C-alpha cells in the first residue's frame, strides 16, 4: 500500500472491517501511516452510559497555526447479507474502473485522499508545512454519534488546541 496513492490507501482502509463501533484496524492503519510521516498521533476511547466504547484518532503535523483539519469517520454500517453483494464488501475490488467496498464513498475514500495529499505535500516540502495539518477521525458517525467527534473536540479544547479550518469529506 502506497499512502501517496489514494486508490491504494482507500483499498487498504476498505479491507478493515470497521463496522460501527468496531475499529477493525482502520485507525491502526492511519496511526501507522501518519506516524511514519511525522504526525503526532493520539488514540482515545470515549464512553457514555448505554453506548458502546468508541475509538477515535487525532493526528497533527506541526505546532503552529493555522491548523487545517480534515474530519471524517472510518466506521461503516453493517454490510447486510453478503449474498446481496456483487463484490465482497471488504475486498476493495476494482471492476471496470470502479472501486467497490463498504465505505468507499462514505468515507474511507475521502480520508485516503486527504492522507495522500498530506503525504505528497510533506514529501515535496521536505517534511514540513507552514502551519499545521491535522486529522480528526472517529469511529462513531454511523452509530449513536455520542463518543466521537464532539468528545474529541472537547479533548482538543482542554488541550487548548485550535482548528482554524476544517474540511469534512462526507459525500452528502
Cβ pair 138, 43 in contact under 8 A? no
Q: Which is the catalytic residue, given 23, 55, 140, 141?
A: 141
Write down the catalytic residue from 23, 75, 106, 140: 75
- Rounded CA separation 53/48 (Å): 7
Question: Does residue 5 have an active-site annotation?
Answer: no
Cα gap 16→117, rounded to integer Å: 21
Cα 104 from Cα 50, distance rounded (Å):
30
Q: Which residues contact 70 (CB under 8 A, 6 or more apart)?
A: 111, 114, 118, 133, 134, 135, 136, 166, 167, 168, 169
* Interior angle at CA 122, CA 18 and CA 6, nearest 5: 40
Residue 22 appears among annotated catalytic residues: no
CA distance 71 to 126: 25
The dihedral region occupied by 72, where left means phi > 0, alpha psi between -120 and 50, and beta the remainder, is beta
DSSP state for residue 168 in the 8-state scheme: E
Active site members: 75, 141
Amino acid at each position: 500500500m502506497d499512502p501517496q496513492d489514494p486508490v491504494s490507501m482507500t483499498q487498504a482502509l476498505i479491507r478493515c472491517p470497521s463496522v460501527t463501533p468496531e475499529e477493525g484496524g482502520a485507525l491502526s492503519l492511519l496511526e501507522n501511516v501518519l506516524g511514519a510521516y511525522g504526525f503526532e498521533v493520539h488514540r482515545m476511547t470515549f464512553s457514555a452510559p448505554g453506548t458502546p466504547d468508541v475509538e477515535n484518532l487525532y493526528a497533527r503535523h506541526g505546532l503552529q497555526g493555522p491548523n487545517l483539519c480534515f474530519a471524517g469517520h472510518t466506521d461503516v454500517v453493517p454490510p447486510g447479507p453478503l449474498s446481496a453483494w456483487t463484490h465482497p464488501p471488504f475486498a476493495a475490488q476494482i471492476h471496470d474502473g470502479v472501486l467497490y467496498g463498504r465505505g468507499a464513498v462514505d468515507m474511507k475514500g475521502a480520508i485516503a485522499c486527504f492522507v495522500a495529499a498530506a503525504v505528497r505535500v510533506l514529501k515535496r516540502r521536505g517534511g514540513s508545512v507552514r502551519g499545521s495539518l491535522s486529522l480528526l477521525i472517529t469511529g462513531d458517525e454511523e452509530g449513536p454519534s455520542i463518543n466521537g467527534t464532539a468528545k474529541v473536540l472537547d479533548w482538543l479544547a482542554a488541550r487548548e488546541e485550535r482548528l482554524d479550518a476544517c474540511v469534512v469529506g462526507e459525500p452528502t
